[in-house]
Structure 1
Amino acid sequence: MIALAPQGLLARSIRGVVASPKAALALAICLLLVLAAIFAPILAPQNPYDLMQIDLFDGKLPPLSRGYNGQLYLLGTDTQGRDMLSAMLYGLRTSLAVGVTAGVLALAVGTSLGLLAAYAGGRVDATIMRFVDLMLGFPTILVALMILVVFGQGTGKVILALVFVQWAYFARAVRATAMVEAAKDYVEAARCLGLSSPRILFGHLLPNCLPPLIVIGTIQVANAIAAEATLSFLGIGLPITEPSLGLLIANGYQVLLAGTYWMSVYPGLLLLVLVFAINIVGDRLRIVLNPRLSQ
């Protein structure tokens, strides 16, 4: 079997998502939030982490209030006088960067190991899959939490922790698909032609593994964003100098009972919409790229 070219697979995926009104709306929300995160320095009314732009007299202002200098705060301010809309845009930028980077790296590691396990077989396959079973046997958030307790906070450390707990999902899915493909005639023909193992793995087997990888990758990006927010909310994820939506929720939660609901509710709603929209797109891709479900 010859797989669709990546361009054809991408076009088919987009057409399938747009064909569903619910998935098309979710995709539009995802694109809108991505663009908002990319252009956060332009869209944000202020840089919420520039001390020269923050006024402590504007602390804890409710939504639609005007500050000491007359500035309008659409979503209010936090305890330090930072504009919540600006803080959410910058936090969205950080959360998306961490989630997408962790998802891509986990996909690269898991895909490589899954292809190797399926193609090599024997002890190599058994060893890799025992590690996969071990990783999938523990709650991901608990493992990530333990890693960060040992190595401390930091964006790079959070990404590495998320990659460590997510690669096994990709490895198992790729191995299952690649094992079926490795037994087919076109792979044997490639061997007879003397093609190198890396060329067979990434030039012949990998294209046939792309449909499940696209679906799992989409879902795991959403999971990584939610996991990072959880770790940051617990105070062990990103440092306060690199804020994310999870940190904003945690900061607002500390004064939630005082009636300042907007500090945690608005970032929480933004996180919920982001993760929910990505999951809807991923679920639609699962249907589009699975011939049995699409029928």
Structure 2
Amino acid sequence: MSFLARLKPDPEGVLVQAASGILRSPRAAIAAFVCLALVLIALIGPFLAPQNPYDLASLDIMDARLAPGGESFDGHVYWLGTDGQGRDMLSAMIYGLRTSLGVGLLAGVVAMGVGTTLGLIAAYFGGRTDALIMRVVDLMLGFPTILVALMMLAVLGQGIGKVILALVIVQWAFFARAVRSAALVERGKEYVEAAICLGLSKPRILFGQLLPNCLPPLIVIATLQVASAIAAEATLSFLGIGLPITQPSLGLLIANGYQVLLAGLYWISVFPGVLLALLIFSINIVGDRLREVLNPRLEQR
């Protein structure tokens, strides 16, 4: 085992600690199970959905606005009802879950990559580089995230790529600030100084030495920001400036039923809303538990 390997904490141990901490909490374990189940449903959604809700050839306007448990003329039962276009709500929710999860995860991963890189650079180089990056971070965090996303999409227009870009721009600063704080603590430790003396390149020091020791706060921030991205996308789609109707998400499904909610057609809006709330609450519960597990003082308390 090399000298650096003996000095550097094991990142795999952090992941094992996080997993065991979740399993020790019944509430967090149930939330994690719900998250995994929803991800699995999203992955195999086309095989589970009784209908492709966005294939016009499979829709019949005569089946529009059927109540949960209603039957079509050909005897098909819609267990969660249909919407105004005759789409099976169960199938629409499965496809909407795929879109919402995809946007949230992709935006979170890209924002984590950008923010982590800039946070490590700011902590390692310091000086003017640190000051410049952190002033931009302070500027980004000084505005409400949903307001910045609204302004960007008002200029860029609708589209899944544009929504992801807007979410990345409003979220990377959270990762940069958290990673910089953790990296500043590690910057002066022995294994970093040893890596510098051994002549390792700056990318190897940043991502091979500093980054593994920033995993605890990074894991927590990533989990919470994925939930935040899903909620932000749903809000933008509900307001009509997020995803187009050809790429519907859970937020757009809720918006479709909002107009007829008071007319008694509750299932068009309520069922997607319950699924969205279940997804966000489960991710947040897991994130809160990770924050407790990976922070020794909170875990002791």
- The alignment's TM-score, normalised by the length of structure 1, stands at 0.98
Give the aligned partner of residue 69 of structure 1.
74
- The residue correspondences of 1:48-197 to structure 2 (distance < 5 A) are 48-197=53-202
Give the aligned partner of residue 257 of structure 1.
262
Give the aligned partner of residue 37 of structure 2.
32
Counterpart Cα distance in 2 of 1:3 and 1:192: 19
**Is 1:23 matched with 2:28?**
yes
Instruction: Return the match for 1:46 from 44, 51, 73.
Output: 51
> What is the letter of the counterpart of residue 81 of structure 1?
G
Counterpart Cα distance in 2 of 1:56 and 1:71: 14
Counterpart Cα distance in 2 of 1:43 and 1:12: 34
Q: SS where residue 235 of structure 1 aligns?
A: coil
**Paired positions, count:** 294
Off by >3 Å, runs of 4+ in structure 1: none
Give the aligned partner of residue 218 of structure 1.
223
1:204-247 alpha-carbon deviations (Å, 9 max, x no partner)? 00000001000000000000000000000000000000010000
Counterpart Cα distance in 1 of 2:55 and 2:189: 59
**Is 1:238 matched with 2:230?**
no
5+ residue gaps, structure 1: none
Counterpart Cα distance in 2 of 1:2 and 1:184: 10
Counterpart Cα distance in 1 of 2:17 and 2:184: 25
1:256-292 alpha-carbon deviations (Å, 9 max, x no partner)? 1211000000000000000000000000001111111
Counterpart Cα distance in 1 of 2:242 and 2:9: 40
Counterpart Cα distance in 2 of 1:56 and 1:279: 39
Q: SS where residue 167 of structure 1 aligns?
A: helix
Q: How far apart are 1:11 and its partner, in Å? A: 2.0
Counterpart Cα distance in 2 of 1:52 and 1:70: 18
What is the aligned-residue RMSD (CA, Å)? 0.8
Give the aligned partner of residue 292 of structure 2.
287
> What is the letter of the counterpart of residue 204 of structure 2?
R
Counterpart Cα distance in 2 of 1:60 and 1:23: 37
> What is the letter of the counterpart of residue 70 of structure 2?
S
Give the aligned partner of residue 3 of structure 2.
none
**Is 1:4 matched with 2:4?**
no
Q: How far apart are 1:190 and its partner, in Å? A: 1.1
1:147-172 alpha-carbon deviations (Å, 9 max, x no partner)? 00000000000000000000000000
Q: How far apart are 1:255 and its partner, in Å? A: 1.2
Q: How far apart are 1:52 and its partner, in Å? A: 1.3
Q: How far apart are 1:2 and its partner, in Å? A: 2.1
Q: SS where residue 248 of structure 2 aligns?
A: coil
